[in-house]
Structure 1
Amino acid sequence: MISWQAKALNLFLKQTVKRSIENTKDVNKLRFQMRALDKFTFGVSAKIERTQLIREGILCDEIKLKLSNSKKKLLYIHGGAFVFKTPAIHNNFIARLVEPLDVHAIVPDYPLAPEHPFPAALDCCYAVYKSLLDSGTLPEDIIIGGDSAGGNIALSLLLRAKHNGLPMPSCCVLLSPVADMTQSGLSSVENRFSDALFSLEVMLHCRNLYLEDDNHDLHNHEISPLFGDFSGFPPFMFHAGSAELMRDDSTRLAEFMLAKGVDAHIQIWHQMPHVFPLFEQLPESKAALQQIVEFIKKH
């Protein structure tokens, strides 16, 4: 059963945010609209400390428990269709992970398209991951997280790290990752009208802004990580909604990873919107968060 809070959120997203995004082709207007949505957050725990730090020339939000000396690092790559960001919503969610896990979260403020198209965001996040290893953080003390477009970058980062011989992190948690830029999954058609946040047309528009031109091979695993080789990957957990466009990105990723011997876990939530764990007012979000915390603690 879907909660009444989730039903209300779906209605709100469809009637306001989705309509607004569909009617906006100008990226700056879209960013302005998403900044307005970004204000609908609650305060974080008084136990949380948030600072900013430059890593490898990249500004990063740093979120941890006050006075914590934990060696555990959570490298979290935020979503935003490659073109916008909602730092309040994302940092609020990350803080809800930091408190029960006592990890030091690092959130790169990676460059956005179309001003900085592929592979700028990937290069940035890869550099931050490599810097953690180079500075002495053990791979088993690193967790990778991400949502939506950030999930795409996280997967591509790990595929590049594997290719370059870097060690894998302890585990990875992704929320509704964008993994298939060819849009070959059935949910791209099946959920075209049921997705509460994005239309297929908007997704394709943002994809084109990210890739800048038509010369890229959409099957390149740094663009569509679904087509990468997952052998040797760490344990993974996926959360997605049953009615969203990118549902099958998660289901197919889990299927392909399991075929390569990866310990992959997937949870598809009935009628839940895209990246719903970010919305803390939902009972389903609290349940998903608890599953994520237990998964990370195991690894």
Structure 2
Amino acid sequence: MSGLTVKQSQAIQPTTSEGYQTFCKKQKFKPEIVEFEHGATGCFLGPKTAKKTLVWFHGGGYNFAAAEEHWGMLWDFIELAKKNGAELRVMVLEYELAPYGVFPLQLKQAVASIQYLLNSGLQPSQILIGGDSAGGNLAAAFTAHLTHTHPSVPAIDLSSNIGGALLVSPWVSFTQERASWKSNHKKDALDPATVRIWSDNFMGKTPNDNWSQPAEAPAEWWKGLKVDDVAITAGGNEVLRDDIRICAENIKVHNPQVEYFEAPGEAHDAIIMDKALGLKEDFASEQFIRKWILARVK
């Protein structure tokens, strides 16, 4: 990951909407792209008749677009629901990438995407949010925003709780101080120096806070969560493991409904990154995620 600069990697990778349109051609369905406030767009998959919509915030360190594996994973969720007699609609948020957009712009764009769904007639309970890696950071920031409105981000008024939130290997701290950053350094694909560049690009000159670094927020911060069900996953071999552990523990203090699953032997974001490397094994994290998704659409 340290072989190319961010701008070099961005130049050779399709944008999120370009990757989406390529996937649409492959699966032979018409693209549906909607523009939101603050310059974001949403890419839709799945039947419009679905009672539940999963809003996915993709990973990539906030510096990179959604990968081919994201579309495959989300399509699998839609097919999983279909095979079990249910329907799922998915919307992928195409947020502004760093360093061109810095925090809290991406949180503003996430709020705009959820507000769009609410304005279209969906109830909060019909909306699930999820994200992997940096997308997990955004999902956590959005969840916090529901109870603690960020001073630079529009508030969102809910008539009831959001249906659920799924955080997959969420990037919840930029400190790189906990033990797993050293103990798992040789077991994970994430290079600490490169990850530091990503977080610096994402934050720019904005000070860190409890929205941008959820693992550093105290347990009291998470009191009164406005999400019915929360699931958080981590890999036992990822550098982020200890950050994710402490974040999950703090959220769970006042929210016993929170599930935390740590997959033994898995590195960061295995459901995306290991699949990108061509590994086809049945990941424990993937089993957990599929089970969680299915339970909320049936």
The answer, yes or no, to whether TM exceeds 0.5 is: yes
Deviations 1:17-66 (A, max 9, x none): xxxx2133x2221225666xx99xxx89x98846232142432211104x
Q: CA deviation at 1:161?
A: 2.1
Deviations 1:244-284 (A, max 9, x none): 11112321222112211241222222221211112285333
Superposed, which structure 2 residues align to 1:135-154 within 5 Å?
135-154=120-139
State the alpha-carbon separation in 1 of the partners of residues 271 and 282 from structure 2. Answer: 7
CA contact (8 A) 1:61 1:109 kept: yes
Superposed, which structure 2 residues align to 1:85-100 within 5 Å?
85-100=65-80
Are 2:174 and 1:174 aligned? no
The equivalent of 1:203 in structure 2 is 195
The equivalent of 2:56 in structure 1 is 76
CA contact (8 A) 1:143 1:172 kept: yes
Moved over 6 A (4+): none
Superposed, which structure 2 residues align to 1:135-284 within 5 Å?
135-163=120-148, 164=155, 165-166=157-158, 167-195=160-188, 197-213=189-205, 216=207, 218=208, 220-228=209-217, 229-233=221-225, 234-278=228-272, 279=275, 281-284=279-282
State the alpha-carbon separation in 2 of the partners of residues 254 and 276 from structure 1. Answer: 19
Are 2:53 and 1:56 aligned? no
Q: CA deviation at 1:114?
A: 0.3
CA contact (8 A) 1:64 1:103 kept: yes
State the alpha-carbon separation in 1 of the partners of residues 184 and 211 from structure 2. Answer: 25
Q: 2:103 aligns with which of 118, 133, 145?
A: 118
CA contact (8 A) 1:232 1:262 kept: no
Are 2:291 and 1:298 aligned? no
CA contact (8 A) 1:48 1:99 kept: no
More moved, 47-56 vs 142-151? 47-56
Amino acid at match of 1:239: T
Count residues in correspondence. 266
- Report % sequence identity: 23
Amino acid at match of 2:211: E
Amino acid at match of 1:75: V
Q: CA RMSD in A?
A: 2.6
- Identify unmatched segments of 5+ residues in structure 2: 82-86, 149-154
TM (norm. structure 1) is 0.80
Q: CA deviation at 1:206?
A: 0.7
The DSSP-based 3-state class of the residue aligned with 1:51 is coil
TM (norm. structure 2) is 0.80
Amino acid at match of 2:45: I
Amino acid at match of 2:199: R
State the alpha-carbon separation in 1 of the partners of residues 193 and 127 from structure 2. Answer: 36
Measured at CA, do residues 137 and 34 of structure 1 come closer, stay the same or move farther in structure 2, by a change above 3 Å? Answer: same
Amino acid at match of 1:209: N
Amino acid at match of 2:97: L
CA contact (8 A) 1:76 1:146 kept: yes
CA contact (8 A) 1:181 1:207 kept: yes
State the alpha-carbon separation in 1 of the partners of residues 41 and 289 from structure 2. Answer: 26
The DSSP-based 3-state class of the residue aligned with 1:22 is coil
The DSSP-based 3-state class of the residue aligned with 2:215 is helix
